[in-house]
Amino acid sequence: MAGTEISPLHGAGMDEFEPSVAPEEAAAAASGPERSAKADIDHEAASARALLARKLGDIVVLPAARVSGNERALAADILMQIVDKVEEALRVEIARRLARVPETPPALIRMLLLDEPAVAREILQGAENLPQALLIEAARCGQTAHREMIARRHDLTTAVADVLVEFHEPEITRLLLRREEFMLSPGAIDILVARSVADQELQTLLLRRRELEPAHGFLMFWWVDAERRRRILSRFTLDRSMVQDAVRDLYPRVFRSENPDPFVKEILIMLERRHRPRGVDGETVSMDIVKNTLAAARRYPAQEMVHAVSMVAGVSRELAGRILRDPGGEPYAVMCKALGVSRDSFFGFLQGDDPAIEGAITPARAEELMAVFDSMARDFARAILRYWDWEGNPRIARITRLLGLELTDEAAFV
């Protein structure tokens, strides 16, 4: 027996080393229990996390008499590490409880504010006062739903509202404009004026805001309808006499100087009390020539007529072209009033339209334009012309840039 070698496979039975089932079947058979075990582990972990989160929340919401600020901060720091690892429903529950506690550390509030809208809602709707900095960050980093909830908060400030305006979300913008508890900044109003070109509801809401000023209104004049144009003329009526009287002694000093300050000269021209119409060669012209020029340009606004009107009105060619090509006719009424055209002469200009020509002024429309003409004082009409032609004004220049246009782009306003 000692010299006999026995194969390790011999006698053990070859059948014992053959798998009784295929590998795929064995894996499938094993996967069921493994998956079940993993699910049990995951459920147990989730339950432990939920229990831990609730216990930490219990500490954070304790009254000040029972927990110090440092201990509350410690519990909040631990909760911040685990809160994003629990189910959304539990995060909503935690946010709802913490919203009622003013002493909740801001870092934890911030984390919940930047969470999903359902979680953030509990803070934004439940917390009475929130730091402005947190609201601004939530507006910048959150979703549209976050910004809508922020726009509805009672403690909305100018700084927060300005951030909301930046996102160009029409419904939120309208929600802001309907509220009167806060002021929008000049920059935000500039942005909204530029956006109002094709949005009539936005135009209406803007014209109700107390932040809107003449520069805004006179720019909007170019793209609003007839009713809103009348509202602009009524709301922004002004008299330049006080400013004119204050700078009266500067006129001889500046205009008789060999080297006048160009900036002061430009402003003095804008404030001029009287305008002397000039011909195409710069010569002084009579009122008859002014009326003939305006009447002819009304019928045939060719380039040479645009140039002639710019000379008699003392405005740029670009503005003269916009006025003559405006389909409503109100800018033409403003220009005629500013030049001292009589009421009868202006009505004659309107009646001179050929009814067969497309865009001709109808008798009913002529009456409306006569009402516009009659509603303005001459100096006010002159002030409007100056606003329209005021390229050096920083606010007007900024709104023009926001429009993505140049002041020389006539098509933008017609």
pLDDT band at 78 (very low <50, low <70, confident <90, very high): very high
Looking at residue 35, its pLDDT comes to 61
Looking at residue 386, its amino acid is: R
| Mean pLDDT in residue range 1-6 | 44
The reported pTM is 0.80
pLDDT tens for each residue of 275-291: 777 766 667 788 999 99
Q: Which two tokens stand for residue 307?
A: 């140039």
As a whole number of Å, the CA-based R_g of the chain is 37
Please give the Cα distance from 295 to 110 (Å, whole number): 66
Q: Coil, strand, or helix at residue 12?
A: coil
Please give the Cα distance from 381 to 373 (Å, whole number): 9
Write the DSSP string, 298-367: HH---HHHHHHHHHHHTS-HHHHHHHHH-SS-HHHHHHHHHTT--HHHHHHHHHTS-TTSTTPPPHHHHH
pLDDT at 12 over 90: no
Looking at residue 163, its pLDDT comes to 97
Q: Coil, strand, or helix at residue 116?
A: coil
Q: Which two tokens stand for residue 16?
A: 């014992």
- For Cα atoms 391, 395, 399, give the angle at the middle one, nearest 5 degrees: 85
Q: Coil, strand, or helix at residue 284?
A: strand
pLDDT tens for each residue of 229-240: 999 999 999 999
Please give the Cα distance from 354 to 362 (Å, whole number): 10
Looking at residue 9, its pLDDT comes to 40
| Mean pLDDT in residue range 111-138 | 96
Looking at residue 278, its pLDDT comes to 72
pLDDT at 46 over 90: no
pLDDT at 38 over 90: no
Looking at residue 357, its pLDDT comes to 56
| Mean pLDDT in residue range 177-186 | 94
Please give the Cα distance from 301 to 298 (Å, whole number): 6
pLDDT at 14 over 50: no
pLDDT at 331 over 80: yes
Looking at residue 354, its pLDDT comes to 56
pLDDT at 29 over 60: no
Please give the Cα distance from 200 to 219 (Å, whole number): 15
Q: Which two tokens stand for residue 257?
A: 């100087």
Looking at residue 222, its pLDDT comes to 96
Looking at residue 43, its pLDDT comes to 58
Of the candidates 72, 148, 152, the one whose C-alpha atom is nearest the C-alpha of residue 108 is 72
With beta carbons less than 8 A apart as the criterion, state whether 330 and 369 touch. Answer: yes
Q: Which two tokens stand for residue 155?
A: 């403690």
| Mean pLDDT in residue range 251-270 | 87
pLDDT at 54 over 70: yes
Looking at residue 281, its pLDDT comes to 67
Looking at residue 115, its pLDDT comes to 97
Of the candidates 90, 60, 58, 54, the one whose C-alpha atom is nearest the C-alpha of residue 74 is 60
| Mean pLDDT in residue range 394-401 | 90
pLDDT tens for each residue of 90-114: 999 999 999 999 999 999 999 999 9
Give the count of beta carbons closer than 10 Å to the beta carbon of residue 246: 10
Looking at residue 284, its pLDDT comes to 79
Q: What is the DSSP letter of 65?
A: T
| Mean pLDDT in residue range 119-124 | 97
- Residue count of the chain, please give it: 414
